[in-house]
Chain A
Amino acid sequence: MLKLNKNIAISDTGYVFDPSIGESYTLNPIGLEIVELLKANKTDNEIKSIILERYDVDDATFERYYIDFTGMLKNYQLAKDE
């Protein structure tokens, strides 16, 4: 399960700050929503159900972009698999 680093600061507008390395990032609204769900310790499947419920997207399309997005969170060392 993907876990966000605990010290990450996230604003309501999608601004992300990683105090451990001093880098900042910006999220689009759906990216922010997913990050908040990760922060709330939701599993991948729970996140998928919530997004599919709210957004006009099919299962396969969401999964493709979700893998890409979480890959970037890991690439920026903002999250890791536990």
Chain B
Amino acid sequence: MEKLKFERPFIKKITTGLPAKFGMKNRIEVVNNIDGLPVEELMNDYGSPVFVISERTLRQTISEARLAFSTRYPLVQFAWSYKTNYLDAVCRVFHQEGSWAEVVSIFEYKKALQNGVPGAQIIFNGPDKSAEDLELAINNNSLIHIDHFDELYMLAELSKKTQKKSKVAIRVNMDTGIYPQWDRFGFNYENGEAWEALNRILLNQHLDLVGLHTHIGTYITSPSAYRTAASKLANLVVEIRNKYNHAIQYIDMGGGFASQNTLRGSYLQGYDAAPSFDEYADAISSALINSAIRPDSLPLLILETGRALVDNAGYLLTSVLANKRLADGRRATIIDAGVNILFTSFWYDHTISPTRFDNDHTEETTIYGPLCMNIDCIRPAIVLPLLKKGDRLVVQRVGAYNMTQWLQFITMRPNIVLIDTHGKTHLIRKGETVETIKQQEQLPKHLE
């Protein structure tokens, strides 16, 4: 007689109480393929854990964003935020889609050049630019966004020395009605500091003020904050025109658009809380068009959004290492991907999906990573089917920041695979080995 399929024996306490505000039951979404490729097959071919990026989703998302803005404002340019994900393959997809590069260090700047981005289409942001970095940027006609007065004076000196006019913008920080107000980057709008900087630039014959930049924060779920920011920059454009008869060529609204991930502690799920591209586009475009800027001299609108463009395209495929019970009887599940490679689990409640769901039984569990460190907790509480060792899980929306902020800590960083638009896989970053790490080390003679 054929034996019955074994399932882990299970008992669950029935808890009754008030339903959630929306009366929602726990939804278990099974994800057994990515762009049509079975998760099991991907993990057999590329190991576990493994990051997978969908090129199709990358291209679809940037198309949606482009459509939202270009149907509302005549001049729109996206600049790919390198720090969000600077894998060359990812950057090149965005560059193929027409994005410029937005970088915040010489490392990212050089990566952009190597990815074939013309110097004049690289926006150089950030507080750390050395004299050498700035000289390179001046010679390449890059757009240098000044962060502080020390940089402004250094740039003026370098431009004078090289006899080449620098194309510059200033980063403006401001009160847009949201908390926290980011004021550590750039020059403040309300206290007049921005004007102090603008006057110095506009009176300096070696600096060419081409743009105004702001970046009001990160994961901003309130489009009205962008409306306020765009209005304030538009005011500066008009006042600069009035005072100096100088035309500002572009307004760079930075990034900060929310992705559909759920912030830890948020009552609403990310896909309910995150505004659409249309809502951001409406707020920014209407503020600019309704401003006192003359319609025939509307500046180019640059957007540096990163997270909202790449998060949905990234998946982390992982395996269950073990199941255990905590002292109070709660279930705990250990997986082979830790916070060192899934950095965003510190602030997101990531959607983690099983690859199969054979019956109706679920249980609440805590998901821990494999690190021998107490901080290694991926989800403090999540309802999942009954899991056993070897089961596969898919962590969704991990495309932003994880593949740049990850740490080689205790374990190696794994393979990253791109699925192209034809469903073909490509290894775009090899998993690290002990040798990868060791080749950077040197032993003093007496310890050999």
Residues of A within 8 A of B (CB): 16, 23-31, 34-35, 54-57, 61-62, 65-66, 68-69, 71-73, 75-76, 78
Contacts and interface: CB of A to CB of B under 8 A. Distances in A.
B448 to A, nearest CB: 45
A25 B13 contact: yes
B386 to A, nearest CB: 8
A38 B306 CA distance: 57
A72 B8 CA distance: 13
Given A26-B14, A68-B325, A71-B325, A54 B3 contact: yes
B5 A25 contact: no
B4 interface: yes
Interface string B422-437: 0000000000000000
Contacts of B4: 54-56
B7 A72 contact: no
B380 to A, nearest CB: 20
B6 A56 contact: yes
A34 B14 contact: no
Name which of A28, A56, A73 has the most chain B CB atoms within 10 A of its CB: A28
Contacts of A65: 8-9, 388
B385 to A, nearest CB: 11
Chain B interface size, under 10 / 10 to 19 / 20 to 34 / 35 or more: 10 to 19
A72 B325 contact: yes
A29 B358 CA distance: 13
Most buried by A among B13, B323, B359: B13
A57 B6 CA distance: 6
B361 to A, nearest CB: 5
Contacts of A69: 8-11
Given A61-B6, A68-B323, A28 B14 contact: no
A27 B386 CA distance: 12
B11 A31 contact: yes
A55 B6 CA distance: 6
Contacts of A55: 3-6
